[in-house]
Structure 1
Amino acid sequence: MSGLSPDGDEGRALLRRELLRPEYNAENPVLRFLEWLGRRLDAGLAAAGAADPLVAAAVMVVLLAGALALAWLVARARSERDPRRPGPDAITGTGLGSGDLRARAEAALAAGRPEEALLDAFRALAVRQVEAGRLADQPGATAREVAAALAEVAEPAGGPAPGRRDRAAGLHRAARLFDGVAYGDRRVGADEVTAVMRLDDDLAGRR
């Protein structure tokens, strides 16, 4: 590149390299649009470069900014559609089994990411109860709805009332923590994560 004002050929080369980045090729319609855009830009840059190098530089900066914005939008759309990356509020609709979610929670806790660990620990608890047939699989259910449903089946009707109350309280507390982390940027510690894991173990041992 010569100085601060690239000529038409240099501008086209820079733009081509940018448009070849993998994130622009995520969807065929996007790729076709970018190919069309590239052809139009070739003509536009050539005309601008012939007229004034400063105009060419300004056009290139604007176009590269637009291309980067498009790449960000494509990457965000792919992330939102990727079932391996559920939103923070997803509970049972993660596509993972309870064992995988629990292992992921334990790994996150060991790595010093307690908020991430708490989300997966609660998901593991809910999915384990779905797998056991005690909770309906409703991916759109909220954490509080999951806690309320499990509080009713956490102990047989003839079981000790204090035990039922303790488990119900633990479920509602875990749901509040889940919501606080998922929606309110709440910080949690290792003790709160392990409490959810112990509750998961407690519920898993009850038939």
Structure 2
Amino acid sequence: MIRTLLLDPPLTPSPDDARSSLRRELLKPEYNDQNLVQRLLDGIQRLLDRAVDAASSASLVQTLVAMVALVAIVGAAVWLVTRARTGARHRPGAEPVLPPDEHATGAELRARAESALEQGRHAQALVDGFRALTLHQIEGGRLVDAPGATAREVARSLATTYPAQGERVSVTAGRFDSVLYGDRPATADQARDVLVLDDELRGRR
């Protein structure tokens, strides 16, 4: 019976299958830190290669034990990066530009931003200014109204519509995230730049 168990094919994936499965998981779009993912892939690649080399000269029992251990390691790695991916979904900057409970028009958000700028509340002016910019583009039919769209997603869409302003829109979106979710301060010039960009995209300058 023992001999039969040892000769039956193991119910575990081969090193190549495990490697391919892990690579497919790690290369999903949700993993934004490509350097971290690549380092993890390289480390597991080396581990798999060493395990395969060792298995070629080991007995069947040793090979089976090594395979079980290897699958456990790969499974643990997948679990860790899956948790990291879940956390990334809730990271600062992954929240929508326009909150679900925001019912103001673009003009109202713009007025709110201008008022905050006059009062020296530069961070609020920048946030409301970018929201006004986004809503103005939606109202003008130049940006798809996609509930839940993040600042980066808005910037990517607008960069396609306005290639000349693409870099400025991207920088402005980054500042929006840094101020709103990273508690970074904003200067008067940065807040004013958002309003100027809003005017330019609407063709008022």
TM-score with structure 1 length normalisation?
A: 0.50
Match 2:103 to one of 95, 119, 127: 95
In 2, Cα distance between equivalents of 1:183 and 1:190: 19
Same amino acid, percent of matched pairs: 47
Deviation per CA, 1:54-98: give whole Å up to 9, x if none: xxxxxxxxxxxxxxxxxxxxxxxxxxxxxxxxxxx5423421111
Which residue of the partner structure matches residue 106 of structure 1? 114
Pick aligned residue for 1:138 from 136, 146, 153: 146
Count of residues paired in the alignment: 108
User: Match for residue 150 of structure 1?
Assistant: 158
For 1:121, the aligned partner's letter is: G
Q: Within 2, Cα distance between the matches of 1:175 and 1:195? A: 12
Structure 2: distance between partners of 1:203 and 1:136: 15
Matched with 2:77 is: none
Match of 1:179 in 2: 177
Query: 2:120, 2:132 → 1: CA distance?
Result: 19
Alignment pair present for 1:195 and 2:193: yes
CA RMSD in angstroms comes to 1.4
Gaps of 5+ in 1: 1-88, 155-163
* Secondary structure at the counterpart of residue 142 of structure 2: coil
Q: Give the deviation of 1:118 after TM superposition.
A: 0.4
Q: State how far apart, in whole Å, the 2-side matches of 1:92 and 1:153 are.
A: 20
CA distance in 2 between partners of 1:111 and 1:194 (Å): 13
CA offset digits 1:18-70 (Å, max 9, x no partner): xxxxxxxxxxxxxxxxxxxxxxxxxxxxxxxxxxxxxxxxxxxxxxxxxxxxx
For the residue of structure 2 that corresponds to 1:171, the secondary structure is helix
Cα shift readout 1:107-146 (whole Å, capped 9, x = no counterpart): 1111111001100000000000000001111230100100
Q: Aligned equivalents of 2:190 and 2:97: distance in 1? A: 18
- Aligned partners of 2:98, 2:140: CA distance in 1, in Å? 13
Please, which runs of 5 or more residues in structure 2 have no aligned partner?
1-94
The residue identity in structure 1 corresponding to 2:154 is: V
2:124 to 87, 91, 116: 116
Contact 1:114–1:193 (CA<8 Å) still a contact in 2? yes
Q: What is the distance in 1 between the residues matched to 2:177 and 2:147?
A: 15
TM-score w.r.t. structure 2 length?
0.51
Q: Is contact 1:143-1:179 (8 Å) kept?
A: yes
Distance 2:98 2:139 in 1: 10
Secondary structure of residue in 2 paired with 1:138 = coil
| 1:24-173 to 2 correspondences below 5 Å | 89-93=95-99, 94-154=102-162, 164-165=163-164, 167-173=165-171
